Amino acid sequence: MDDLGGPRFKRIRLTGDRFEGGRLPVDSLIELQRYQDVVRKLAEFEWRRDHPEDELPADFAGGVGLTIEKIDEGSADVLLAFEQHATYVQYQVEAQDAADATIFAAYSHTPLPDLPSVPSALVAEVREEIADIGESLVNGQSIEFYADPADATPTVITVETRREARADLMLTDFFAEPEPPTIAPLVEKRDESLVGRITAVDANSTKFELVTAQGKVHGWYRENTELLEDLRAVLNSANEGPLTRVTGELRSKNGEPQRFWRTHIVELVEFDATPAGKRLTEFAALPSGWEDGEGEQISFVALEAAQEIVRAVGADVALPGLFPTAEGGVLLEWASTAGVRSVEILADGLFELFEMTPTDRSGVHFETKNLAEAIDFARRGVE
CATH for 221: 2.40.50.200
174 domain-assigned:
no
Same-domain status, 154 and 24: yes
Same-domain status, 291 and 156: no
What is the predicted pLDDT for the residue at 181? 47
CA-CA distance, 178 to 181, in Å (whole number)?
Answer: 9
Contact 310, 291 (CB under 8 A): no
**End residue of a domain, out of 245, 269, 293:** 269
Same-domain status, 229 and 284: no
Same-domain status, 292 and 371: yes
What is the predicted pLDDT for the residue at 8? 65
E strand or H helix that includes residue 196: strand 189-202
**End residue of a domain, out of 228, 247, 269:** 269
Same-domain status, 334 and 279: yes
Q: DSSP 3-state assignment of 337? A: coil
CA 323 to chain centre: 27
Single-letter amino acid code for the residue at 125:
E
Helices 29-50 & 120-132 angle (0-180, nearest 10): 160
Same-domain status, 193 and 158: no
196-210 per-residue burial string, b: 16 or more CB within 10 A, e: under 16: bbbbbbbeebbbbbb
What is the predicted pLDDT for the residue at 7? 54
How many structural domains does the chain have?
Answer: 3
- Dmax of the chain from CA atoms? 91
1 domain-assigned:
no
Same-domain status, 164 and 221: no
177 domain-assigned:
no
- Cα–Cα distances (Å) from 42 to 45, 91, 123, in that order, read 5, 8, 9
Same-domain status, 115 and 157: yes
Torsion of CA 118, 123, 126, 129, to 10 degrees: -170
Same-domain status, 254 and 334: no
What is the predicted pLDDT for the residue at 315? 63
**End residue of a domain, out of 269, 294, 324:** 269
180 domain-assigned:
no
Boundaries of domain holding 380: 272-383
Condensed to tens digits (0 to 9), the pLDDT of residues 24-65 reads 888 889 999 999 999 999 999 988 888 888 889 888 888 888
183 domain-assigned:
no
4 domain-assigned:
no
340 domain-assigned:
yes
pTM: 0.61
Same-domain status, 230 and 278: no
Same-domain status, 58 and 141: yes
Same-domain status, 165 and 22: yes
For each of the chain's 383 residues, which pLDDT tens digit applies?
A: 444 444 567 889 899 988 888 888 888 899 999 999 999 999 999 888 888 888 898 888 888 888 888 887 667 888 887 776 677 888 888 888 889 989 999 999 888 887 766 788 888 899 999 999 999 999 999 999 987 777 778 999 999 999 999 988 986 544 444 454 444 444 567 888 888 899 999 888 788 999 987 788 989 898 888 999 999 999 987 777 888 999 998 888 767 788 898 899 998 888 888 889 889 989 988 888 888 888 898 998 999 999 999 988 876 667 889 999 999 999 999 888 888 999 999 999 999 999 998 888 788 999 999 999 999 998 876 44
Q: DSSP 3-state assignment of 105? A: helix
